[in-house]
Amino acid sequence: MFQVIEPRPAPVPTRGPAVWLRRNLFSSPFNSVLTVVTGALVAFSLFNLARFVLVDASWGQVWANMKLFGVYRYPADLLWRPLSVAAGLMLLLGAMAGVGGRGSITANAFFAFQGFVAVLSVVAVLFWPSVRLLWPLVLVAGFAGYLLGRAWPRVAKVLPWAWALWFALGLMLLYGVTPGSGLLRIVPSRDWGGFLLTLVLFTGIIPSFPLGVALALGRQSKLPAIKYFCIGFIEVVRGAPLIMWLFIASLLLPLLLDVDANSLPAVMRAYVAITLFSAAYMAENVRGGLQAVPRGQGEAARALGLSAWQTTYLIVLPQALRAVIPAIVGQAIGLFKDTSLVFIVGLADFFRVADIVSVQPQSLQVTGGVKLEVFLFIAVVYFFFAYRMSVASRQLERQLGVGVR
Protein backbone atom coordinates (compact mmCIF):
# COMPACT_ATOMS: atom_id res chain seq x y z
CA MET A 1 0.00 0.00 0.00
CA PHE A 2 1.22 3.48 -0.86
CA GLN A 3 2.78 5.47 1.93
CA VAL A 4 4.21 8.97 1.80
CA ILE A 5 7.95 8.99 2.44
CA GLU A 6 8.84 12.00 4.55
CA PRO A 7 11.92 13.92 3.33
CA ARG A 8 15.09 13.07 5.26
CA PRO A 9 18.18 15.27 5.60
CA ALA A 10 21.08 14.41 3.29
CA PRO A 11 23.97 12.58 4.98
CA VAL A 12 26.55 14.99 6.39
CA PRO A 13 29.82 14.62 4.48
CA THR A 14 32.88 14.03 6.63
CA ARG A 15 35.04 17.11 6.56
CA GLY A 16 38.23 18.46 8.04
CA PRO A 17 41.79 18.90 6.89
CA ALA A 18 42.74 15.30 7.65
CA VAL A 19 39.94 13.95 5.47
CA TRP A 20 40.77 16.42 2.71
CA LEU A 21 44.44 15.43 2.77
CA ARG A 22 43.67 11.75 2.64
CA ARG A 23 41.21 12.12 -0.20
CA ASN A 24 43.16 14.49 -2.36
CA LEU A 25 46.82 13.91 -1.66
CA PHE A 26 47.30 10.49 -0.08
CA SER A 27 44.55 8.38 -1.61
CA SER A 28 46.98 5.63 -2.72
CA PRO A 29 50.63 4.75 -2.12
CA PHE A 30 51.53 6.07 -5.58
CA ASN A 31 49.72 9.36 -4.95
CA SER A 32 51.43 9.66 -1.57
CA VAL A 33 54.84 9.31 -3.18
CA LEU A 34 53.85 11.81 -5.87
CA THR A 35 52.64 14.27 -3.24
CA VAL A 36 55.82 14.04 -1.21
CA VAL A 37 58.14 14.36 -4.22
CA THR A 38 56.20 17.26 -5.78
CA GLY A 39 55.84 18.99 -2.44
CA ALA A 40 59.58 18.72 -1.81
CA LEU A 41 60.41 20.10 -5.27
CA VAL A 42 57.99 23.03 -4.91
CA ALA A 43 59.22 23.84 -1.42
CA PHE A 44 62.82 23.69 -2.61
CA SER A 45 62.16 26.09 -5.51
CA LEU A 46 60.09 28.47 -3.43
CA PHE A 47 62.80 28.56 -0.79
CA ASN A 48 65.41 29.43 -3.42
CA LEU A 49 63.17 32.11 -4.91
CA ALA A 50 62.46 33.60 -1.50
CA ARG A 51 66.17 33.59 -0.69
CA PHE A 52 66.87 35.44 -3.90
CA VAL A 53 64.07 37.97 -3.47
CA LEU A 54 64.74 38.69 0.18
CA VAL A 55 68.49 38.24 0.51
CA ASP A 56 70.55 38.01 -2.67
CA ALA A 57 68.71 40.34 -5.01
CA SER A 58 69.78 43.95 -5.32
CA TRP A 59 66.62 45.96 -5.76
CA GLY A 60 68.45 49.27 -5.70
CA GLN A 61 68.39 49.72 -9.46
CA VAL A 62 64.66 49.00 -9.70
CA TRP A 63 64.01 51.48 -6.92
CA ALA A 64 66.28 54.14 -8.39
CA ASN A 65 64.57 53.98 -11.80
CA MET A 66 60.95 54.21 -10.76
CA LYS A 67 60.44 57.30 -12.86
CA LEU A 68 61.66 55.48 -15.95
CA PHE A 69 59.32 52.57 -15.22
CA GLY A 70 56.46 54.96 -14.70
CA VAL A 71 56.76 57.50 -17.50
CA TYR A 72 60.21 57.08 -19.10
CA ARG A 73 61.50 60.45 -20.42
CA TYR A 74 58.31 62.39 -19.76
CA PRO A 75 59.57 65.70 -18.28
CA ALA A 76 59.80 65.56 -14.50
CA ASP A 77 58.22 69.00 -14.09
CA LEU A 78 55.19 67.91 -16.12
CA LEU A 79 54.33 64.80 -14.14
CA TRP A 80 51.17 66.53 -13.01
CA ARG A 81 49.80 65.93 -16.49
CA PRO A 82 49.80 62.10 -16.57
CA LEU A 83 48.81 62.08 -12.92
CA SER A 84 45.84 64.36 -13.65
CA VAL A 85 44.78 61.87 -16.28
CA ALA A 86 45.18 59.13 -13.67
CA ALA A 87 43.14 61.22 -11.23
CA GLY A 88 40.41 61.58 -13.86
CA LEU A 89 40.48 57.83 -14.42
CA MET A 90 40.10 57.09 -10.72
CA LEU A 91 37.40 59.75 -10.36
CA LEU A 92 35.28 58.15 -13.10
CA LEU A 93 36.03 54.62 -11.95
CA GLY A 94 35.10 55.70 -8.43
CA ALA A 95 31.84 57.23 -9.64
CA MET A 96 30.98 54.01 -11.47
CA ALA A 97 31.83 52.02 -8.35
CA GLY A 98 29.74 54.37 -6.20
CA VAL A 99 26.74 53.99 -8.49
CA GLY A 100 27.16 50.22 -8.52
CA GLY A 101 27.47 50.11 -4.75
CA ARG A 102 29.56 47.95 -2.44
CA GLY A 103 30.14 44.47 -3.80
CA SER A 104 29.45 45.41 -7.42
CA ILE A 105 32.00 44.46 -10.05
CA THR A 106 33.10 48.03 -10.64
CA ALA A 107 33.45 48.58 -6.89
CA ASN A 108 35.62 45.48 -6.54
CA ALA A 109 37.84 46.58 -9.41
CA PHE A 110 37.90 50.17 -8.17
CA PHE A 111 39.04 49.23 -4.68
CA ALA A 112 41.76 46.97 -6.07
CA PHE A 113 43.13 49.88 -8.12
CA GLN A 114 42.58 52.25 -5.24
CA GLY A 115 44.71 49.97 -3.09
CA PHE A 116 47.44 50.13 -5.73
CA VAL A 117 47.19 53.95 -5.78
CA ALA A 118 47.25 54.04 -1.96
CA VAL A 119 50.52 52.10 -1.85
CA LEU A 120 52.04 54.44 -4.43
CA SER A 121 50.76 57.46 -2.49
CA VAL A 122 52.44 56.33 0.72
CA VAL A 123 55.68 55.66 -1.15
CA ALA A 124 55.42 59.03 -2.90
CA VAL A 125 54.86 60.95 0.33
CA LEU A 126 57.84 59.24 1.93
CA PHE A 127 60.35 59.09 -0.90
CA TRP A 128 59.36 60.93 -4.09
CA PRO A 129 59.34 64.70 -3.53
CA SER A 130 58.33 65.60 -7.08
CA VAL A 131 55.00 63.75 -6.86
CA ARG A 132 54.55 63.92 -3.09
CA LEU A 133 51.26 65.79 -3.41
CA LEU A 134 50.11 64.41 -6.73
CA TRP A 135 49.71 60.73 -5.89
CA PRO A 136 47.59 61.42 -2.79
CA LEU A 137 45.48 63.67 -5.01
CA VAL A 138 44.83 60.73 -7.32
CA LEU A 139 43.76 58.75 -4.27
CA VAL A 140 41.47 61.57 -3.14
CA ALA A 141 39.98 61.89 -6.62
CA GLY A 142 39.07 58.22 -6.48
CA PHE A 143 37.30 58.54 -3.16
CA ALA A 144 35.60 61.74 -4.28
CA GLY A 145 34.25 59.92 -7.33
CA TYR A 146 33.05 57.06 -5.16
CA LEU A 147 31.22 59.40 -2.79
CA LEU A 148 29.74 61.28 -5.72
CA GLY A 149 28.42 58.04 -7.19
CA ARG A 150 26.98 56.97 -3.83
CA ALA A 151 25.31 60.30 -3.14
CA TRP A 152 24.00 60.93 -6.61
CA PRO A 153 23.39 57.72 -8.59
CA ARG A 154 21.92 59.63 -11.50
CA VAL A 155 25.49 60.59 -12.43
CA ALA A 156 25.46 57.22 -14.23
CA LYS A 157 23.63 58.90 -17.10
CA VAL A 158 26.46 61.28 -17.89
CA LEU A 159 29.25 58.76 -17.25
CA PRO A 160 29.54 57.51 -20.84
CA TRP A 161 30.03 61.10 -21.99
CA ALA A 162 32.42 61.73 -19.12
CA TRP A 163 34.51 58.74 -20.21
CA ALA A 164 34.61 59.97 -23.78
CA LEU A 165 35.61 63.42 -22.58
CA TRP A 166 38.28 61.94 -20.31
CA PHE A 167 39.64 59.92 -23.20
CA ALA A 168 39.94 62.90 -25.52
CA LEU A 169 41.10 65.45 -22.95
CA GLY A 170 43.49 62.95 -21.42
CA LEU A 171 45.31 62.32 -24.69
CA MET A 172 45.40 66.06 -25.37
CA LEU A 173 46.78 66.81 -21.92
CA LEU A 174 49.43 64.12 -22.23
CA TYR A 175 50.53 65.42 -25.59
CA GLY A 176 50.30 69.10 -24.74
CA VAL A 177 48.94 72.09 -26.59
CA THR A 178 51.54 74.80 -27.05
CA PRO A 179 55.06 74.61 -28.41
CA GLY A 180 57.80 76.15 -26.30
CA SER A 181 58.29 75.74 -22.61
CA GLY A 182 54.99 76.43 -20.83
CA LEU A 183 52.98 74.23 -18.53
CA LEU A 184 51.08 72.87 -21.51
CA ARG A 185 54.08 72.49 -23.81
CA ILE A 186 54.07 69.62 -26.21
CA VAL A 187 55.83 66.47 -25.08
CA PRO A 188 56.91 64.55 -28.18
CA SER A 189 55.46 61.10 -27.99
CA ARG A 190 58.94 59.56 -28.29
CA ASP A 191 59.45 60.72 -24.72
CA TRP A 192 56.34 58.94 -23.47
CA GLY A 193 57.13 55.56 -22.11
CA GLY A 194 57.08 53.12 -19.27
CA PHE A 195 53.81 52.09 -17.73
CA LEU A 196 52.20 55.29 -18.95
CA LEU A 197 52.76 54.27 -22.56
CA THR A 198 51.61 50.72 -21.88
CA LEU A 199 48.33 52.05 -20.52
CA VAL A 200 47.92 54.59 -23.33
CA LEU A 201 48.40 51.90 -25.96
CA PHE A 202 46.11 49.57 -24.05
CA THR A 203 43.29 52.09 -24.38
CA GLY A 204 43.39 51.20 -28.09
CA ILE A 205 40.98 48.45 -27.04
CA ILE A 206 38.33 51.15 -26.50
CA PRO A 207 38.00 52.43 -30.10
CA SER A 208 38.61 48.89 -31.35
CA PHE A 209 35.38 47.77 -29.71
CA PRO A 210 32.89 49.81 -31.77
CA LEU A 211 35.07 49.23 -34.83
CA GLY A 212 35.03 45.49 -34.23
CA VAL A 213 31.26 45.45 -33.75
CA ALA A 214 30.83 47.44 -36.97
CA LEU A 215 33.10 45.03 -38.85
CA ALA A 216 31.24 42.02 -37.48
CA LEU A 217 27.88 43.48 -38.51
CA GLY A 218 29.31 44.58 -41.85
CA ARG A 219 30.51 41.07 -42.47
CA GLN A 220 26.90 39.89 -42.33
CA SER A 221 25.63 42.70 -44.52
CA LYS A 222 23.61 41.94 -47.62
CA LEU A 223 25.44 44.65 -49.53
CA PRO A 224 28.42 43.00 -51.24
CA ALA A 225 30.62 46.11 -51.13
CA ILE A 226 30.37 46.39 -47.34
CA LYS A 227 30.49 42.66 -46.78
CA TYR A 228 33.63 42.04 -48.82
CA PHE A 229 35.40 45.11 -47.49
CA CYS A 230 34.84 43.84 -43.94
CA ILE A 231 35.86 40.28 -44.74
CA GLY A 232 38.91 41.54 -46.58
CA PHE A 233 39.95 43.85 -43.76
CA ILE A 234 39.50 41.18 -41.09
CA GLU A 235 41.33 38.47 -42.99
CA VAL A 236 44.21 40.66 -44.11
CA VAL A 237 44.80 42.11 -40.66
CA ARG A 238 44.60 38.73 -38.98
CA GLY A 239 46.87 37.26 -41.60
CA ALA A 240 49.99 38.97 -40.31
CA PRO A 241 51.54 39.40 -36.86
CA LEU A 242 51.03 42.56 -34.83
CA ILE A 243 54.72 43.27 -34.88
CA MET A 244 54.56 43.55 -38.67
CA TRP A 245 51.59 45.90 -38.58
CA LEU A 246 53.46 48.09 -36.11
CA PHE A 247 56.29 48.30 -38.62
CA ILE A 248 53.96 48.97 -41.50
CA ALA A 249 51.98 51.57 -39.59
CA SER A 250 55.06 53.53 -38.73
CA LEU A 251 56.10 53.60 -42.41
CA LEU A 252 52.80 53.31 -44.28
CA LEU A 253 50.55 55.66 -42.36
CA PRO A 254 52.59 58.78 -43.23
CA LEU A 255 52.55 57.64 -46.84
CA LEU A 256 48.78 57.08 -46.90
CA LEU A 257 48.17 60.49 -45.40
CA ASP A 258 50.91 61.99 -47.55
CA VAL A 259 52.72 63.72 -44.73
CA ASP A 260 56.25 63.70 -43.45
CA ALA A 261 56.90 60.65 -41.28
CA ASN A 262 58.07 62.75 -38.38
CA SER A 263 54.99 64.93 -38.32
CA LEU A 264 52.89 62.03 -37.10
CA PRO A 265 53.66 61.18 -33.50
CA ALA A 266 55.25 57.74 -33.17
CA VAL A 267 52.77 56.77 -30.48
CA MET A 268 49.88 57.68 -32.76
CA ARG A 269 51.17 55.41 -35.49
CA ALA A 270 51.54 52.52 -33.06
CA TYR A 271 48.13 53.34 -31.60
CA VAL A 272 46.42 53.13 -34.99
CA ALA A 273 48.09 49.79 -35.70
CA ILE A 274 47.10 48.35 -32.34
CA THR A 275 43.52 49.60 -32.62
CA LEU A 276 42.95 48.24 -36.10
CA PHE A 277 44.67 44.97 -35.27
CA SER A 278 42.53 44.59 -32.17
CA ALA A 279 39.38 45.54 -34.11
CA ALA A 280 39.87 42.66 -36.53
CA TYR A 281 40.06 40.14 -33.69
CA MET A 282 37.20 41.87 -31.89
CA ALA A 283 35.09 41.48 -35.03
CA GLU A 284 35.63 37.74 -35.08
CA ASN A 285 34.77 37.45 -31.38
CA VAL A 286 31.60 39.46 -31.88
CA ARG A 287 30.69 37.41 -34.94
CA GLY A 288 30.80 34.31 -32.76
CA GLY A 289 28.31 36.00 -30.44
CA LEU A 290 26.05 37.06 -33.30
CA GLN A 291 25.90 33.49 -34.53
CA ALA A 292 25.00 32.28 -31.05
CA VAL A 293 21.78 34.33 -30.98
CA PRO A 294 18.88 32.15 -32.17
CA ARG A 295 17.23 33.20 -35.44
CA GLY A 296 13.87 33.38 -33.69
CA GLN A 297 15.03 36.40 -31.67
CA GLY A 298 15.42 38.56 -34.74
CA GLU A 299 12.21 37.18 -36.26
CA ALA A 300 10.20 37.98 -33.14
CA ALA A 301 11.57 41.51 -33.11
CA ARG A 302 10.82 42.05 -36.80
CA ALA A 303 7.34 40.55 -36.37
CA LEU A 304 6.66 43.19 -33.70
CA GLY A 305 7.48 45.89 -36.22
CA LEU A 306 10.97 46.84 -35.02
CA SER A 307 13.23 48.01 -37.83
CA ALA A 308 16.31 46.07 -38.86
CA TRP A 309 18.54 48.52 -37.04
CA GLN A 310 16.41 48.48 -33.86
CA THR A 311 16.40 44.69 -33.96
CA THR A 312 20.19 44.66 -34.15
CA TYR A 313 20.96 47.06 -31.36
CA LEU A 314 18.08 46.29 -29.01
CA ILE A 315 17.78 42.54 -29.37
CA VAL A 316 20.62 40.82 -31.18
CA LEU A 317 23.71 42.79 -30.13
CA PRO A 318 23.02 42.83 -26.37
CA GLN A 319 22.67 39.06 -26.39
CA ALA A 320 25.62 38.55 -28.71
CA LEU A 321 27.98 40.72 -26.67
CA ARG A 322 26.91 39.07 -23.44
CA ALA A 323 27.85 35.71 -24.90
CA VAL A 324 31.36 36.83 -25.84
CA ILE A 325 32.41 38.81 -22.75
CA PRO A 326 34.95 36.14 -21.76
CA ALA A 327 36.45 36.22 -25.24
CA ILE A 328 36.59 40.02 -25.27
CA VAL A 329 38.27 40.20 -21.86
CA GLY A 330 40.67 37.51 -22.99
CA GLN A 331 41.50 39.70 -25.94
CA ALA A 332 41.97 42.73 -23.68
CA ILE A 333 44.39 40.81 -21.49
CA GLY A 334 46.27 39.66 -24.56
CA LEU A 335 46.43 43.16 -25.98
CA PHE A 336 47.63 44.56 -22.63
CA LYS A 337 50.67 42.33 -22.86
CA ASP A 338 51.11 42.62 -26.63
CA THR A 339 51.67 46.36 -26.28
CA SER A 340 55.20 45.36 -25.31
CA LEU A 341 55.87 44.78 -29.02
CA VAL A 342 56.06 48.52 -29.70
CA PHE A 343 59.76 48.41 -28.83
CA ILE A 344 60.19 47.37 -32.48
CA VAL A 345 59.28 50.88 -33.65
CA GLY A 346 61.52 52.54 -31.11
CA LEU A 347 59.03 53.22 -28.34
CA ALA A 348 59.96 52.50 -24.75
CA ASP A 349 56.96 50.93 -23.07
CA PHE A 350 57.05 49.31 -19.62
CA PHE A 351 58.72 46.16 -20.93
CA ARG A 352 61.34 47.99 -22.97
CA VAL A 353 62.22 50.20 -19.97
CA ALA A 354 63.03 47.03 -18.02
CA ASP A 355 65.54 46.18 -20.72
CA ILE A 356 66.95 49.70 -20.74
CA VAL A 357 67.34 49.74 -16.95
CA SER A 358 69.08 46.40 -16.92
CA VAL A 359 71.88 47.66 -19.20
CA GLN A 360 72.47 51.01 -17.50
CA PRO A 361 76.11 51.48 -16.42
CA GLN A 362 75.06 51.47 -12.78
CA SER A 363 73.19 48.22 -13.33
CA LEU A 364 76.17 46.60 -14.98
CA GLN A 365 78.31 47.45 -11.98
CA VAL A 366 76.10 45.25 -9.81
CA THR A 367 77.62 41.79 -9.52
CA GLY A 368 75.58 39.36 -11.61
CA GLY A 369 73.57 42.22 -13.15
CA VAL A 370 70.01 43.15 -12.29
CA LYS A 371 68.14 41.53 -15.21
CA LEU A 372 66.28 39.07 -13.01
CA GLU A 373 65.27 41.70 -10.46
CA VAL A 374 63.99 44.05 -13.13
CA PHE A 375 61.98 41.43 -14.95
CA LEU A 376 60.55 39.96 -11.76
CA PHE A 377 59.36 43.45 -10.90
CA ILE A 378 57.58 44.08 -14.19
CA ALA A 379 56.16 40.55 -14.14
CA VAL A 380 54.44 41.32 -10.84
CA VAL A 381 52.97 44.56 -12.20
CA TYR A 382 51.75 42.94 -15.43
CA PHE A 383 50.26 40.13 -13.38
CA PHE A 384 48.39 42.46 -11.06
CA PHE A 385 46.59 44.17 -13.93
CA ALA A 386 45.99 41.12 -16.09
CA TYR A 387 44.73 39.08 -13.16
CA ARG A 388 42.46 41.89 -12.03
CA MET A 389 40.84 41.98 -15.49
CA SER A 390 40.33 38.25 -15.40
CA VAL A 391 38.65 38.47 -11.98
CA ALA A 392 36.34 41.24 -13.19
CA SER A 393 35.38 39.19 -16.24
CA ARG A 394 34.49 36.18 -14.10
CA GLN A 395 32.33 38.33 -11.83
CA LEU A 396 30.67 39.92 -14.83
CA GLU A 397 29.82 36.53 -16.31
CA ARG A 398 28.35 35.36 -13.05
CA GLN A 399 26.27 38.52 -12.68
CA LEU A 400 24.95 38.42 -16.24
CA GLY A 401 24.07 34.76 -15.83
CA VAL A 402 21.34 35.73 -13.35
CA GLY A 403 17.85 35.43 -14.80
CA VAL A 404 19.06 34.75 -18.32
CA ARG A 405 17.64 31.69 -20.04
Partner 1 sequence: MTEAATSTVVRADAPPGGQKIIEMEGVNKWFGDFHVLRDIYLSVNKGEVVVVIGPSGSGKSTLIRCINRLEEHQQGRIIVDGVELTDDVRAIDRVRRETGMVFQSFNLFPHLTVLENITLAPIRVRKWKKSQAEERAMFFLEKVGIPEQARKYPGQLSGGQQQRVAIARSLTMGPKVMLFDEPTSALDPEVIGEVLDVMVTLAKEGMTMIVVTHEMGFAREVGDRVVFMDAGQIVEVGPPEHFFQNPREARTRAFLSKIL
**Interatomic CA distance for residues 357 and 378, integer angstroms:** 12
Q: Which C-beta is closer to partner 1: that of 60 or that of 401?
A: 401
Contacts of 317 (CB under 8 A, 6+ apart): 213, 290
Q: Please answer whether residues 305 and 385 qualify as being in contact, where contact means their C-beta atoms are separated by less than 8 angstroms.
A: no
Measured from the CB of residue 292, what is the shortest distance to partner 1 in angstroms?
12
Measured from the CB of residue 324, what is the shortest distance to partner 1 in angstroms?
14
Measured from the CB of residue 2, what is the shortest distance to partner 1 in angstroms?
21
Is 89 exposed, middle or buried, given 0-12, 13-18 or 19+ CB atoms closer than 10 A? buried
**Interatomic CA distance for residues 49 and 58, integer angstroms:** 14
Can you tell me whether residue 9 is helix, strand or coil?
coil
Strands (E), 109-208: 193
Residue 327 is given by DSSP the state H
Q: Please answer whether residues 82 and 134 qualify as being in contact, where contact means their C-beta atoms are separated by less than 8 angstroms.
A: no
Measured from the CB of residue 294, what is the shortest distance to partner 1 in angstroms?
8
Complete DSSP assignment for 43-87: HHHHHHHHHIIIII--THHHHHTHHHHHHTTS-GGGTHHHHHHHH
Q: Which C-beta is closer to partner 1: that of 319 or that of 360?
A: 319
Measured from the CB of residue 32, what is the shortest distance to partner 1 in angstroms?
46
- In the complex, which residues of this chain contact partner 1 (CB under 8 A)? 294, 296-297, 299-307, 310, 314-315, 318-319, 322, 403-405
Measured from the CB of residue 293, what is the shortest distance to partner 1 in angstroms?
10
Q: Could you give the C-alpha distances from 228 to 60, 220, 239, 273, 312, in angstroms and in order?
A: 56, 10, 16, 21, 20
Q: What is the dihedral of CA 274, 277, 281, 282, to 10 degrees?
A: 60
Q: Which long-range contacts (CB under 8 A, 24 or more apart) does 245-249 make?
A: 245/273, 245/276, 245/277, 246/270, 246/273, 246/274, 246/341, 246/342, 246/344, 246/345, 247/344, 247/345, 248/273, 249/273, 249/345
Measured from the CB of residue 320, what is the shortest distance to partner 1 in angstroms?
10
Q: Which C-beta is closer to partner 1: that of 49 or that of 300?
A: 300
Q: Which C-beta is closer to partner 1: that of 210 or that of 294?
A: 294
Measured from the CB of residue 62, what is the shortest distance to partner 1 in angstroms?
47
